[in-house]
Amino acid sequence: MNGKLEFNLYHKTTFSGRYLSFLSLHPLSQKRGVLMSMVDRAFLLSHPKYHYNNFIFIIKIFLENDYPLKFIFDTINSRLGSLFKHKTLKQTDNSNNDEKITSWFTIPFLPYIYDKFKSIVKKDSNVRLSFFSLNKLDGIIKAQKDVLPHDSKKNVVYKINCKDCNASYVGQTGRKLKTRINEHKKDINKKSGNFSVVSEHKIEFDHDFDWENIKILDNERFFGKRCVSEMLNIKMLAFLRVLYHITLMMSPQNMSLKKFLILR
């Protein structure tokens, strides 16, 4: 119109109107976030002349997803207020260079601990809390994809067992597992230099490792979390070894417990 483009919200013909139900077991902040994202689309991406009809549509859709009318109105009003003030806030951001950095912590969402954690975190103005759901669709609906080979998996914490004794090695890698295992094998075969823990065990005791049955203990794409998982698995392994030796000294006849500890 008048040589200008006018934009409006668009939905595919397959649009079902289904959004995150208000009755679902999710944090209230996530439900509010879903509604705010729709407000952003209607306000920022569509021409002002379409705003009224788009907000009527949003209210209708979220009522059908069991959202209380007061919750819908309060969220829309709050979000619109933030959007109207956005330019002013953006202009003052540059002058707030001494603003303190906020730390975020993410934990699983469990209704009976949700309020307790929130009350604790509220005492510290520099700490914010976010939640994630334990039950996700990818655990229920499986895409028809080829299964990734065991040794091609990335971002893993793994364990290599010795064939000749109860020793084992726990490590982590962000690359393909087979790439890291090949590095272990090459390190064993080198003539000199600094040897890895795996190589030292091989050289000192002339033992072989079970390269064909490497166990993946955990999958974690974030490096920091993966390192924590590696450390916890190493500590657990050390604890089980101590428990095994105590069991051996105190009860040599208890073979079932010893076998369990060895298999771990």
Give the per-residue pLDDT at 262. Answer: 43
Give the per-residue pLDDT at 176. Answer: 94
- pLDDT tens-place string over residues 105-143: 777 777 777 777 777 777 666 777 777 777 776 767 766
3-state secondary structure 183-213: HHHHHHHCCCCCCCHHHHHHHHHCCCECHHH
64, 123: one domain: no
The token pair that represents 201 in the structure block: 């065990």
Instruction: Order across the sheet with 168-173: list the strands.
Output: 168-173, 156-161, 215-219
Do the domain assignments include residue 17? no
Give the per-residue pLDDT at 261. Answer: 42
Positions of the chain with pLDDT under 70: 1-2, 87-101, 123-125, 137, 139, 142-144, 244-245, 247-264
- pTM (predicted TM-score): 0.50
156, 225: one domain: yes
Output DSSP code: residue 13: T
Do the domain assignments include residue 93? no
Total structural domains within the chain: 3
- For the chain, give the percent of residues with pLDDT over 90: 34
Do the domain assignments include residue 162? yes
Give the per-residue pLDDT at 263. Answer: 41
Best CA proximity match to 60, nearest among 48, 43, 72: 72
Question: What is the C-alpha separation between 217 and 237, in angstroms, rounded?
Answer: 12
Do the domain assignments include residue 9? no
Best CA proximity match to 66, nearest among 35, 38, 29: 35
123, 214: one domain: no
Give the per-residue pLDDT at 1. Answer: 58
Do the domain assignments include residue 235? yes
The SS3 of residue 10 is: coil
Q: Are strands 156-161 and 168-173 parallel, antiparallel or unpaired?
A: antiparallel
Do the domain assignments include residue 186? yes
Residue 255 gets the label, from left (phi > 0), alpha (psi -120 to 50) or beta, of alpha
107, 69: one domain: no
- pLDDT tens-place string over residues 174-194: 999 999 999 999 988 887 778
Range of 108's domain? 103-135
Chain position carrying tokens 């893993």: 156
